[in-house]
Structures are given as structure tokens and as C-alpha cells.
Amino acid sequence: MMLGRMGLLFLLRGQDGSLLLLDEPETHFNDVWKREIVDMIDMGLLNCTEANVIVATHTSIALTDAFAAEVTVLDKTKGRSTARGVTGGLFGTDPGEVNMNLFHADSSIGSRSVEIVDPTAQDRMEGTRK
């Protein structure tokens, strides 16, 4: 999987004006590889080619390598889609913070951990969902 995605980058080297659309390229990657995806795109393609790359992702790990100006969030509420920029930091930020700030997660840790570590947190989480 990873080699196939990297192969796409190298095939487009030198193809100035190219557009590469990657839909969740980190699917089936372990967390270490997810940390590398943005750097792989930079090193494999963007450092040597005038191309545009659009990546659709749900992983906060990859987003910690992106600058806020490089990210557009697409939201869908009540059947209506909107696009918005990112406020706050992404680059170099802890993935848990990205989850909470960008994806509106209730906590930076798993729900089971929250229940065990802070039993009152479950009540607060349920209150925000109502």
C-alpha cells in the first residue's frame, strides 16, 4: 500500500501543473507511517515539481505536519456542505489536541480511558451530546 502511494508521487515528478487527488492515502497505515505522509508528499513530489496535491483525510496525526494555511475543513450539517479555514495551530501540535480542536472530540484520550480515569467526565460528555 505505502509503496503504491509513493509510486504515484514519483510518476508525477517533473510533470509541472499536475494535480494529484489523494483520498485518505493513510488508510491501512500504522501511526508511524501516518506521521510521514505529508513529508513523503513534499519530498517525493512538491520539492521538485510545480504541482498541486489535495489530500482528504480524517487523521489528526498527518495534520500535525500541515500548516493551517494548507488545510481546508469541509463540514456537512443538515445536508449542507461548507468549507472553512483552520484557526489555531496544526503544525507541530499534539494529535490529541488536533482531534479536540478540529474534529470536536470530547477528549484527547479514548472513551474507555475517560470513564475509568475520570468517571465524572462521562456525565459531562453525555451532557454535550444532548
Give pLDDT tens digits for 28-64.
Answer: 899 999 999 999 999 999 999 999 999 999 999 999 9
DSSP H or E stretch at residue 119:
helix 119-129
pLDDT tens, 111-129?
888 888 877 765 666 665 5
The pTM for the full model equals 0.79
Chain segment 9-31, per-residue pLDDT in tens: 889 999 999 999 999 999 989 99
pLDDT of residue 8: 86
- Residue 46 CA to residue 51 CA, distance in Å, equals 6
Whether the per-residue pLDDT at 72 is higher than 90: the answer is yes
Sign of CA dihedral 49, 55, 59, 64: positive
Instruction: Label each residue of 55-77 as H, E or C.
Output: EECCCHHHHCCCCHHHCEEEEEE
Say which residue the cell 500504522 belongs to. 30
Spatial separation of the C-alpha atoms in residues 20 and 53, rounded to whole Å: 5
Q: Which of 112, 114, 111, 89 is nearest to 102 (CA)?
A: 89
